C-alpha cells in the first residue's frame, strides 16, 4: 500500500459529537447520501465510508450500490428509483456521442433526489454527516439549515467551480481546467484555451444547475441563497489528487489531497480461466478496458475490426479484454484474446505478466495503473479523461490517441511503441514510487482531517478569500487605488509644471521689460 514515512463532488454534512462512552461506535455519527449514479465514482466514497466505519464511527449510507457483504457500523439504504438511471455497463456508443456529463447528471439528480431520500426524515436525522454529489449542490442547504460542518469529497482531481469556491489562489498559467483537455505544463495555445475554458466551465456549471435554486427555495425557504453561494459553506474538501502525479498547484489547508483513496488490497480473485490465461502469457499481456460504464462491443464494427487486426499482430502477446456482452462482438476474435464481462481490475493490473493498459483515461483506473507501474494507451472519451491522458503523456507513461479519429496506423503504432520501448515502463515505475511516497495513507489522511473538523469546528480552516467579494480577492480595489493615486499625482505634476511655466513666463517677461527700460 502507500508508503507511511519517508475522482460530479460529494458532500459530507457533518454533525460531529464526542461521547464519553468507551464504546467504539461512539464519536462520529455519519449519514452518507450518494445520489451519484456512476459506480466507479462511488468506489472512492464507499472506501471512505468503510474506513470510517472501521474506525468505530457509525455510518448510514444512502446510495445506489449497497455492500455485497454487511459490515459492522455500516448500514446501507437503497435510493434506487425507476426515474434515475444508474450507469453500470450500459453506456452505448450512440449515447456516448451525445454524452453531456454534468448536464445529464444534474438534471436527473435535482428532479428526483430529494423525493427519493425523504426530505423530512433526513432533516430530523440526529447527529449526521452527508456525502453528496458535486453536481447536486442543492444538498449544501442541509448544512446551513442544521448549522453543521460541511466536508466535500471530490472523485475528480477537483472541479473548476469548487476549486475557486474554497479560496484557492488560482493561476491559470499553471492550474488547468479539469475539462480543458490539457495538463500542466501548458503551451501558449493551451494556456489561452485554459483561460477561456476555466471561466466557461465555472460559470456554465451554475447556469446548468440553476433550477436547483428553485428546489432549495421550495424545501428550505425563500430566503436561501443560490447554490453558487451555498457552496461557500464547505469547511473541508477531500480531493482525488496527488501532487507527484497530478502536479503542483496552490491549495488552502481546507483542501486536502487524498489521491488513491479508493485503492485497497482486496480478496477478489480472478476466475480460473482468466488466471490460467494470464499466468500462461509468456510474452506478457495487454489489458483493455473502458471502465465500468462504456460497452465497447457497441462501437462501430470497423473500429472493432481494427482492434482485432492490431491484436493479431502482437501475438504471442495476449490481450485480456473487458467486454460486457461478448456475443455482440463481430466474428473473428483473434486466438490471443480473452474476453470477460467483469474483472477485478486491481488483480489484473498487479499481475506479474502485464505489459500495458488500454484505457479511456478515467482517474480511478489510471491511478490504479500508476500504482502498479503499468504503461498506458489512452482513448479519452469525455469529462476529465482528456486532461488525465494528456497528463500521463507528458509524464512519459502513456500514448494519447484522439477518439474518434483513431486510425489503424496510429493504434498499431501506439501498441507496438508501448510494448517495445522500455522508457514507458521505466517512467511508470518511477512515477509509481513517487505516487506511493506519502506520509500517511489517503484513508488515514481523510480520517484525520474529518476528525480535525470534529475537534475544531466549522470555519477552522476557512480561507478569508472565501468571504471576500471577487473584486477584493482580485485586488481590483488596490489596483484602482494605485490608479487614482497615479492619476492624481500626474495631474498634480501637470498643474505644478503649468504653474511653473506661467511663473517662468512672467519672470522672463518682467526681466525683458526691465532690460528694455
Domain shared by 342 and 300, yes or no: yes
Q: What pLDDT, on the 0 to 100 scale, is given for residue 163?
A: 85
**For residue 117, pLDDT beyond 70:** no
Specify the pLDDT at position 1.
Answer: 57
Q: Could you tell me if residue 12 is inside a domain? A: no
CATH number of the CATH domain containing 343: 3.40.50.2000
The 3-class SS string of 162-179 reads: HHHHCCCCCCCCCCCCCC
Single residue among 464, 479, 507 that ends a domain in this structure = 464
Asked whether the predicted pLDDT for residue 172 surpasses 80, the reply is yes
- Mean pLDDT in the chain? 83
Q: Would 515 be classed as within a structural domain? A: no
Query: How many Å apart are CA 2 and CA 325, to the nearest integer?
Result: 35
> Per-residue confidence at 372, pLDDT binned at 50, 70, 90?
very high
| Average pLDDT value for residue range 18-30 | 50
Residue 123 and residue 186 share a domain: yes
Spell out the residues 6+ positions from residue 374 whose beta carbon is closer than 8 angstroms to its own: 287, 349, 354, 355, 356, 357, 428
Q: Residue 476's domain spans which residues? A: 465-494
pLDDT of residue 123: 52
Q: How many CB atoms lie within 10 A of CB 440?
A: 15
Q: Are residues 130 and 93 in the same domain?
A: yes
Query: Does the pLDDT value for residue 26 go beyond 80?
Result: no
Is the pLDDT score of 198 beyond 50? Answer: yes
Residue 264 predicted with pLDDT over 70: yes
DSSP letters spanning 310-362: HHHHTTTSEEEEE-S-GGGSPS---TTEEEES---HHHHHT-TTEEEEEE---
3-class SS string, 426-463: HHHHHHHHHHHEECCCHHHHHHHHHHHHHHHCCCCCCC
Mean pLDDT of 182-192: 91
- Asked if 78 contacts 66 with a C-beta cutoff of 8 angstroms, the reply is yes
Residue 6: per-residue pLDDT = 36
For residues 449 and 256, the answer to whether their CB atoms sit within 8 Å is yes
Residues 416 and 445 in one domain: no
User: Which residue is listed with cell 456475443?
Assistant: 327
Judgement on whether residues 392 and 480 belong to the same structural domain of the protein: no
Task: State mean pLDDT over 68-73.
Answer: 90
Task: Determine the average pLDDT of the residues in 337-365.
Answer: 93
Residues 398 and 488 in one domain: no
Grid coordinates standing for 156?
A: 475528480
Q: Is residue 223 part of a domain?
A: yes
342 and 245 assigned to the same domain:
no
**Do both 254 and 386 map to the same domain?**
no
> What is residue 378's predicted lDDT score, i.e. its pLDDT?
94
In a domain, residue 18? The reply is no
Does residue 302 belong to any structural domain of this protein? yes
Give the phi and the psi of residue 255 in degrees, each rounded to 5.
-110, 110
Axis crossing angle, helix 301-313 with helix 408-420, rounded to the nearest 10? 30
Looking at the 3D structure of the chain, how many domains does it have? 3
Q: What is the DSSP code string of 217-241?
A: HHHH-TTPPPHHHHGGG--EEEES-
Same structural domain for residues 230 and 131? Answer: yes
d(C-alpha 76, C-alpha 71), whole Å: 10
- In angstroms, the CA 348 to CA 351 distance is 5
240 and 97 together in one domain = yes
Closest CA to 208 of 261, 266, 136: 136
Task: Place 516 in a pLDDT band, splitting at 50, 70 and 90.
Answer: low
Are 414 and 312 members of one domain?
yes
Contact between residue 302 and residue 406 where contact means Cβ atoms under 8 Å apart: no
What is residue 281's predicted lDDT score, i.e. its pLDDT?
Answer: 93
Average pLDDT over residues 435-450: 93
Check whether residue 452 and residue 475 sit in a common domain.
no
Q: Is residue 511 part of a domain?
A: no
* Residue 503 included in any domain: no
Judged by average pLDDT, the poorest of 68-82, 227-241, 278-292, 379-393 is: 68-82
Last residue of a domain, one of 394, 421, 436: 436
Residue written as cell 461506535?
A: 25
Whether the per-residue pLDDT at 7 is higher than 60: the answer is no
Residue 51 counted as domain residue: yes
Is the CB of residue 231 less than 8 Å from the CB of residue 149? no
Amino acid at each position: 500500500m502507500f508508503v507511511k514515512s519517508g475522482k460530479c463532488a460529494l458532500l459530507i454534512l457533518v454533525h460531529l459529537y464526542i461521547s464519553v462512552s468507551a464504546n467504539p461506535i461512539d464519536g462520529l455519527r455519519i449519514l452518507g447520501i450518494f445520489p451519484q449514479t456512476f459506480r466507479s465514482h462511488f468506489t472512492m466514497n464507499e472506501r471512505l465510508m468503510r474506513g470510517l466505519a472501521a474506525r468505530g464511527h457509525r455510518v448510514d449510507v444512502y446510495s445506489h450500490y449497497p455492500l455485497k457483504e454487511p459490515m459492522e457500523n455500516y448500514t446501507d439504504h437503497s435510493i434506487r428509483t425507476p426515474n434515475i438511471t444508474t450507469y453500470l455497463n450500459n453506456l452505448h456508443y450512440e449515447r456516448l456521442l451525445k454524452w453531456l456529463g454534468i448536464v445529464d447528471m444534474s438534471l436527473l439528480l435535482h428532479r428526483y433526489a430529494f423525493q427519493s431520500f425523504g426530505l423530512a426524515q433526513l432533516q430530523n436525522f440526529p447527529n449526521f454527516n452527508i456525502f453528496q454529489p458535486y453536481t447536486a449542490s442543492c444538498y449544501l442547504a442541509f448544512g446551513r439549515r442544521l448549522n453543521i460542518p460541511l466536508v466535500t469529497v471530490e472523485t475528480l482531481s477537483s472541479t473548476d467551480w469548487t476549486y475557486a469556491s474554497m479560496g484557492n489562489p488560482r493561476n491559470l498559467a499553471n492550474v488547468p481546467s479539469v475539462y480543458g483537455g490539457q495538463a500542466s505544463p501548458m503551451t501558449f495555445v493551451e494556456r489561452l484555451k485554459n483561460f477561456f475554458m476555466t471561466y466557461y466551465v465555472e460559470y456554465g456549471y451554475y447556469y446548468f444547475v440553476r433550477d436547483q435554486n428553485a428546489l432549495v427555495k421550495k424545501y428550505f425557504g425563500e430566503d436561501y441563497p443560490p447554490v453558487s453561494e451555498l457552496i461557500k459553506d464547505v469547511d473541508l474538501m477531500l480531493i482525488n489528487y496527488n501532487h507527484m502525479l497530478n502536479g503542483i498547484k496552490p491549495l488552502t489547508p481546507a483542501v486536502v489531497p487524498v489521491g488513491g483513496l479508493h485503492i485497497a488490497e482486496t480478496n477478489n480473485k480472478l476466475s480460473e480461466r482468466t488466471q490460467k490465461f494470464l499466468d500462461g502469457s509468456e510474452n506478457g499481456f495487454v489489458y483493455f478496458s473502458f471502465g465500468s460504464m462504456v460497452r465497447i462491443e457497441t462501437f462501430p464494427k470497423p473500429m472493432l475490426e481494427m482492434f482485432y487486426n492490431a491484436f493479431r499482430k502482437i501475438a504471442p502477446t495476449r490481450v485480456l479484454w473487458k467486454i460486457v456482452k461478448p456475443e455482440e462482438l463481430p466474428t473473428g476474435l483473434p486466438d490471443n484474446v480473452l474476453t470477460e464481462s467483469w474483472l477485478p481490475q486491481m488483480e489484473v493490473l498487479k499481475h506479474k505478466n502485464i505489459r500495458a493498459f488500454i484505457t479511456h483515461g478515467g482517474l480511478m483506473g489510471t491511478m490504479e495503473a500508476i500504482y502498479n507501474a503499468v504503461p498506458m494507451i489512452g482513448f479519452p472519451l469525455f469529462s476529465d479523461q482528456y486532461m488525465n491522458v494528456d497528463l500521463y503523456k507528458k509524464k512519459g507513461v502513456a500514448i494519447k490517441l484522439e477518439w474518434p479519429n483513431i486510425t489503424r496506423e496510429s493504434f498499431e503504432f501506439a501498441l507496438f511503441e508501448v510494448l517495445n520501448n522500455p522508457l514507458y515502463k521505466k517512467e511508470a515505475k518511477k512515477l509509481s514510487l513517487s505516487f506511493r511516497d506519502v506520509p500517511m495513507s489517503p484513508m488515514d489522511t481523510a480520517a484525520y482531517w474529518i476528525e480535525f473538523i470534529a475537534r475544531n469546528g466549522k470555519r477552522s480552516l476557512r480561507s478569508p478569500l472565501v468571504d471576500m467579494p471577487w473584486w477584493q480577492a482580485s485586488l481590483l480595489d488596490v489596483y484602482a487605488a494605485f490608479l487614482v493615486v497615479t492619476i492624481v499625482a500626474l495631474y498634480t505634476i501637470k498643474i505644478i509644471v503649468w504653474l511653473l511655466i506661467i511663473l517662468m513666463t512672467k519672470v522672463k517677461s518682467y526681466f525683458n521689460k526691465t532690460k528694455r527700460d
